[in-house]
Amino acid sequence: MQSNIVTPIADTINYDEAEQQFINLLDLENLDSKLESQPELASIVDNAIAQAIENAFSGAASDDGAHLFLQRILYRINRLQLFWYDDLRHYTNERSPYLNKVRDTIETPWQEWELSHLDVEAIKQLDVKQALTERSACDLNPPLSEDSRYLREEMSEAGYRHVLAIGSFDGLVEGSRLSRIMGGAANEVHATLMRVLIEEYGNGRLSRKHSTYFAQMLEEFGMNTQPESYFELVPWEVLACANHNFLMTERKIYFLRYNGGLTYFEVAGPATYRNYLAAAQRLELSQAAMGYWELHIREDERHGQWMLTDVSLPLAQRYPDRAWELVLGYDQEKLMGDRAGVAIVRLAKQA
């Protein structure tokens, strides 16, 4: 295979150039052995990552360009944990030590930065069952925010299409990360998680899989239904949510945090979907252009209850010394989800 790698010719950091260099590295045969003899092949990428980490996580001002670059690089590594029914050669470096090093280099300061936005010590002092129960009750039917009112009352059809494009990033592969925690011992918690996963996957029928309903919404507007088709539109805040969940499911030490986060996601989902459904109804769109929202409002209300009563609360009882991690996961998913929601509304307005 002919290499598309180029060596750096300037000291200025160009994130687009560095990302393209990284894409070339991903498919480079014998990547690690070649980097041993030619470390300069990765110098543009490595320098850009180091600078982006400094720009994104140090100082008072946050650099959105640096965040986007880092999250895109991290996602390109993490997505190798899923199978995309594409050319098998794209997975040649899925266990590359270099890619693992890049992932760890980004994840470590990023996760420290994310946790700095939460009072972890205060969370450790909470009554976990009370905290989860109260939070779930509040997030099930929250008061309408300014952004929620915008979606319901003002968003244009162009904005709606933009929301669908960004939403397709997750909607077309829905449930994929949940599947990664399903291996292991069987018990009641495991059985409930499997029920959630099975419903997300349409009980094994493609026509009933949730991603199929999302694809139907895209088809109604003549939009591309291939996963990641609108990757270029996805803001870093949304990518961060995906990468965070990859990390939570990749490391079993974070099992409690992941399930706390999934509890929030399922509990709060219907409130968000009602905003999108109201927008579609106001715009007088077809049933096919809004069916996914109706399905999720109905099913996620049930999933949220399952996650609270049959997963999170039993896990809190099973792991009393670490149960606070469930609340941490819940609060972190809410914080990151709210941040992503703000970014999506901002882009919908621009559309």
Within 10 angstroms of residue 234's Cβ, the number of other Cβ atoms is 25
Q: Is residue 191 part of a domain?
A: yes
- Both 133 and 250 in one domain: the answer is yes
- Both 141 and 229 in one domain: the answer is yes
**CA gap 241, 80 in Å, rounded:** 17
Closest CA to 338 of 148, 172, 164: 148
For residues 167 and 218, the answer to whether their CB atoms sit within 8 Å is no
Q: What is the DSSP letter of 12?
A: S
Q: Six-digit token pair at 1?
A: 């295979």
- Both 23 and 102 in one domain: the answer is yes
- Both 97 and 159 in one domain: the answer is no
Q: Six-digit token pair at 307?
A: 């996650």
- Both 80 and 192 in one domain: the answer is no
Q: Is residue 217 part of a domain?
A: yes
| CA 4 to centroid of chain Cα atoms | 30
**CA gap 261, 332 in Å, rounded:** 7
Closest CA to 112 of 153, 58, 166: 58
For residues 254 and 248, the answer to whether their CB atoms sit within 8 Å is yes
CA distances to 210, 221, 338 from 170, in Å:
11, 18, 16
Look up tokens 């509304």; give the residue.
345
Report the b/e string of 152-161 with b at 16+ CB within 10 A.
beebeeebbb
Of the residues 98, 115, 132, which one is the last residue of a structural domain? 115
**Segments of the chain scoring below 50 in pLDDT:** 1-3, 5-11
CATH code, domain carrying 210: 1.20.910.10
Q: Is residue 5 part of a domain?
A: no
- Both 223 and 132 in one domain: the answer is yes
- Both 338 and 254 in one domain: the answer is yes
Residue 93: helix, strand or coil by DSSP?
coil
Fill in the amino acid letter for 164.
L
Look up tokens 């270099």; give the residue.
98
- Both 304 and 325 in one domain: the answer is yes
Of the residues 87, 115, 143, which one is the last residue of a structural domain? 115
For residues 218 and 224, the answer to whether their CB atoms sit within 8 Å is yes
| pLDDT for the residue 38 | 97
CA distances to 30, 41, 344 from 37, in Å:
11, 9, 44
Residue 43 domain boundaries: 15-115
| pLDDT for the residue 7 | 41
Report the b/e string of 245-281 with b at 16+ CB within 10 A.
bbbbbbeeebbbbbbbbbbbbbbbbbbbbbbbbbbbe
- Both 206 and 240 in one domain: the answer is yes
Q: Is residue 8 part of a domain?
A: no
Phi, psi of 282 (to 5 degrees): -65, -35
For residues 192 and 292, the answer to whether their CB atoms sit within 8 Å is no
Of the residues 67, 93, 115, which one is the last residue of a structural domain? 115
Number of domains making up the chain: 2
| pLDDT for the residue 86 | 95
- Both 209 and 336 in one domain: the answer is yes
Q: Where do runs of H (alpha helix) occur along the chain?
A: 15-26, 31-37, 43-57, 64-78, 97-115, 120-124, 128-140, 146-153, 157-171, 188-200, 210-220, 236-250, 255-282, 291-306, 313-318, 324-350
Handedness of CA 48, 51, 57, 63 (dihedral sign): negative
Q: Is residue 3 part of a domain?
A: no
Give the N- to C-terminal CA distance of the chain in Å, as an integer: 41
- Both 94 and 195 in one domain: the answer is no
Handedness of CA 198, 291, 259, 129 (dihedral sign): negative
Q: Is residue 1 part of a domain?
A: no
**CA gap 64, 268 in Å, rounded:** 26
- Both 234 and 160 in one domain: the answer is yes
Q: Is residue 10 part of a domain?
A: no
Within 10 angstroms of residue 91's Cβ, the number of other Cβ atoms is 14
